[in-house]
Amino acid sequence: MHVGDLATMTDEVFTAWRNDHAAGADAIMLAPTRDLVAELNQRARQHRLQLTPDTPPEAVQLADGNLASVDDIVITRSNDRTLRVTATDWVKNGDRWHVTAVGADGSVTVQHARNGRIIDLPAAYVATSVELGYACTIHTAQGVTADASYTLLTGSEPRQLAYTAATRGRLGNHLYLEVVGDGDEHNVVRPDHTHPRTATDLLESILARDASSASATTMRRQADDPAYQLADEVNRYLDSLYVAAEHRLGPAQVARLDAAADRVVPDLTHADAWPTLRAHLMLLSAQGLDPVHELHEAATIREVDTAGDVASVLDWRLDDSGLRSAGTGPLPWLPGIPEALVDDQQWGPYLAARAARVRDLRDQIAEQVTATAELPSWARQGQGRPSPELLVDVALWRAAMSVDPADRRPTGPTQLAKAPNRWQAGLNTRLAGNRTPALAEWADVLDRVLVHPRRDPFYPLLAERLLRDLSRSRSRRPRDGPTGLAEGALPDDHNAAALWWRIAGRLAPAVASQVAGDHHLTTAWAERLPELLGPDQAAAVRSPAGGPPSWPSSTTRSPAARPSTRS
């Protein structure tokens, strides 16, 4: 992995390719755009021509607009079964070739980069389906194999393309991530430039982005799932509420608010959170309050000069509408509809319908959670079974906040807005009463040695593994923390997982083999448990509370289960 700005990394990719080429290795450069590919191809060809300046080559025009001559590397971009290499092989998309001769009519003779077979490519095929092959896009690289690959990534790729990029090289694969801005002054105000994402953030976003095709039945099932719909409906409700408040306030008063904001706090309208604060102020105006007065009051309570984002701090200080009218919103942390908008002939019915839609999905999710006996993944970490009411509340929260199903933190990432933050804190407090034995034993140690442990999704899993694999095998737990800390400081990103990685390397094989126990393995015959044991006993066996935590991994390691084990 390499990180930096785009210009520097483009140079690094070319330099790495050039060094491999000079050493006689077959390397390929991959880039996210055709413009970058064309630039790298041109640089590679110019570098090759500089090695033999006394022999100006005859060249042919290729499909990508570049020229190719003898000793250039090209790539074919379409299958053509009429261009036979052998009786059973033909020219295919993604094949790379060395040019051995060029014809006056635009045809070329090429030799396959891997099998060495030679073929003449006609001018018509060259003009439409042959490009320089020193660099190509990741899409084009599917099927390409080289000794080493060097890939520029933007962070917006799906995981399928990242897999392709990371597996083109037999001996080495290098990924270059852009984590530094390009210096364009017009981009300074963008959140991704004022708070740039780390390489870990970019990789996580790539791995979370799935570009695989979904069947019509899958899409229909998702579209009908209330948990899948709730987050969108919540966002539509909030957006409608803020738009209605702005419409009621009127253009003149909105302009007054915008003009007054920078007088109250200099450059407030340039803060990242100003749009959020502005919407909040306009919603307060719909409750009969003066938004400029409320802003001035919030700004003069205490100093704001040291705040990283002044607008965010002021938004927190405001008497949040959701808290002022607790219980009036369709969800506990959502603001209710102000009376002035309820009575509005245009907006009142529309907002009521939006709120009713959220409440309807809320009730559907509650029915689903209540009807199933199976615990969600976040509740399978050794703690006692939460109450039905708590299960429903957490399920609603996770659905409304689009918490990743793989996130083992019950309430997911910390919310920064005031009303959601307080509701989330309340959920966490209620969950603490059902605290896992692992967290009860290890929380004090982990809170000292980890960076922001409660924000780390691996934190509860680490505590559970420490209790199961370390604490129970010793007469007492270590006072100063896990021995993995002796290897030095932990990385800033995912330090809980990094600590476990160190500890796992020190465990005896018999203990380490239990690590897979919390991966919820299953077997082909596990689906027949209700048929064999009955629904109640099957649910008890499947639940961690109904048996030892290592039951899934134990059963999948048994001789009878091994042939059909899957995870």
Backbone angles phi, psi at 173, to 5 degrees: -135, 125
Write down the residue that tokens 């110019």 correspond to.
46
- Rounded to 5 degrees, what angle do the CA atoms 272, 425, 230 make? 70
Mean pLDDT of the region 518-533:
58
Confidence of residue 82 (pLDDT cuts 50, 70, 90): very high
Choose between 454 and 466: higher pLDDT. 466
Neighbours of 319 (CB within 10 A): 13
Burial of 423 (0-12, 13-18, 19+ CB in 10 A): buried
CA 20-22-24 angle, to 5 degrees, is 70
Question: How many C-beta atoms surround the C-beta of residue 305 within 10 A?
Answer: 6
Residue whose C-alpha is closest to residue 178's, from 142, 158, 160, 151 = 151
Q: How confident is the model at residue 401 (pLDDT cuts 50, 70, 90)?
A: very high
Query: At 161, which amino acid appears?
Result: L
Distance CA 56, CA 183 (A): 39
Give the tokens for residue 352.
Answer: 């009521």
Q: Look at residues 489, 440, 490, 433 and name the one whose alpha carbon lies nearest to residue 460.
A: 440
Q: Which residues pair with 29 in a beta bridge?
A: 135, 150
Structural tokens at position 261: 């904001």
Whole-prediction pTM: 0.62
- pLDDT bracket for residue 304 (50, 70, 90): confident
- In order, the DSSP letters of 97-138 are EEEEEE-TTS-EEEEETTT--EEEEPHHHHHHHEEE-SEEET
Instruction: Output the average pLDDT for the chain.
Output: 81
3-12, 104-113, 189-198, 534-543: which has the minimum mean pLDDT?
Answer: 189-198
pLDDT (tens digit per residue) in 129-180: 999 989 999 988 887 888 999 999 988 889 999 999 999 999 999 999 988 7
Q: What angle do CA 543, 547, 550 make, to 5 degrees?
A: 95
Has residue 52 got a pLDDT over 80?
no
Per-residue pLDDT for 469 more than 70? no
Upper half-sphere CA count for residue 271 (Cβ side, 13 Å): 25
Collect all residues with Cβ–Cβ distance below 8 Å to 213 and sequence separation of at least 6: none
Task: Specify whether the CB–CB gap between 487 and 502 falls below 8 A.
Answer: yes
Which of 223-227, 330-334, 416-420 has the weakest average pLDDT?
Answer: 416-420
Question: pLDDT band at 468, cuts 50/70/90?
Answer: low
| pLDDT on residue 475 | 42
For residue 84, give both structure tokens: 């036979």
- What are the backbone angles phi and psi of residue 251, rounded to the nearest 5°? -60, -40
pLDDT at 165: 92
> What is the rounded distance in angstroms from the CA atom of residue 94 to the CA atom of residue 85?
15
Look at residue 155 in the predicted model and tell me its pLDDT.
86
The percent of residues in the chain predicted with pLDDT above 70, rounded, is 79
User: Which residues neighbour 47 within 8 Å (Cβ) at sequence distance 6 or greater?
Assistant: 18
Q: How far apart are CA 85 and CA 7, in angstroms?
A: 40
Residue 185: CB atoms within 10 A of its CB come to: 6
Give percent of the chain above pLDDT 90.
35
pLDDT score at 549 = 41
DSSP 484: G
- The yes-or-no verdict on residue 221 having pLDDT over 60 is yes
User: What is the reported pLDDT for 238?
Assistant: 93
- Round to whole Å and give the CA distance between 132 and 144: 14
Mean pLDDT over 172-193 rounds to 65
Distance of CA 328 to the CA centre of its chain: 34
Question: Which range has the worst mean pLDDT, 46-50, 134-138, 193-197, 243-247?
Answer: 193-197
> Are the CB atoms for 100 and 109 separated by under 8 Å?
yes
